[in-house]
Amino acid sequence: MKASPTKRSPWVYLGLFLMIGALLIFSIAPLVSSIVQQSRMDNAAATPLDANSRRLEAEALGYELVLEREPNNVNALQGLLENRLRQGKLKEAIAPLERLSQLIPEQIEYTLLLAQTKQQLQDYEGASNIYRNLLASNPLDIRTLKGLSDLFILQKRDAEAIQTVQNAITQAIKLRGSDPSEANSANVTSVQLLLGEIYLQQNRVNEAIALYDNTSQMNPDDFRPILAKAIVLNQQGQTKAAEPIFQQALLLAPTQYKETIKQMSLNIRPQTEQAPAKTQ
């Protein structure tokens, strides 16, 4: 009988990451690296055989003993995975991740985390294969598209990253044409915002802004491309132009995001306005 998960640790969930122009897009990139960085900081502050290290090793052994008897015990697999990540032992995290992704395929967070872990280990081909397999069954999953495009950019394959996202945009627009639902419109916007993020990484600011304008015209009720444009204009020092656009995004945004947008408009604008004074 397949085990069912009864424990969901916070690290499993990839969280809502507020990035330029991409509210509501899940980002997996910082997950493994942040855990590893924290583990390195902990290790730097302690001796290799301190009490915490011994405790983690004993805990890992306990999970492994359980898994010898019950190889499909989801709780033990989750515990061992979290333990290995906290120790920064990414190679040892691969096996429980693979098993969890097989046992609970509907929770693709495990599969995404497996791809990210392989990427951290510089197994780029392995990570790419995982992303491609996920896209084969769900070609518009924004988390997977971002993971694959980020991997391409890491490998200096920017053209492939752009082509991958542009292909997804074409598919999303076609799907919306046959079913103009709110969800399909949101999918188009999300993928276009991902392309805008890539443009910004390449310092193609004008192209990103033009994309945001086009996206807003296609889906005028979505606040995200409007907010993206406001943020970019602020970063470019065009604070007066950005202010009414922030207000427009604020009016369109769902209630749960209004306070965040207010803080963004308040916090970013003073920083850009103060920048010229430092050069005098």
pLDDT digits (tens, 9 = 90+) for 35-63: 545 555 555 554 455 788 889 999 999 99
Q: Which of 48, 30, 29 is nearest to 40 (CA)?
A: 48
Q: What is the mean pLDDT of residues 215-234?
A: 92
Of the candidates 239, 196, 237, which has an alpha carbon nearest to the alpha carbon of residue 216? Answer: 196
Rounded to two decimals, what is the model's pTM? 0.77
Indicate the residue among 63, 89, 121 that finishes a domain: 121
Answer yes or no: do 4 and 114 share one domain.
yes
Using pLDDT thresholds of 50, 70 and 90, give the confidence band for residue 8: very low
Structural domains counted in the chain? 2
- Residue 163 in domain: no
The more confidently predicted of residues 31 and 24 is 31
- Contact between 78 and 12 under an 8 Å Cβ cutoff? The reply is yes
The whole domain housing 227 covers: 223-271
CATH number of residue 23's parent domain: 1.25.40
173 token code pair: 């627009």
Residue 67 scores a pLDDT above 50: yes
What's the rounded mean pLDDT across residues 111-133? 96
Query: Where are the alpha helices (H) located in the chain, listed in sequence order?
Result: 29-44, 51-69, 74-86, 90-103, 108-120, 124-137, 142-154, 158-178, 182-201, 205-218, 224-235, 239-252, 255-279
65 part of a folded domain: yes
Residue 123, sorted as left (phi over 0), alpha (psi -120 to 50) or beta, turns out to be: beta
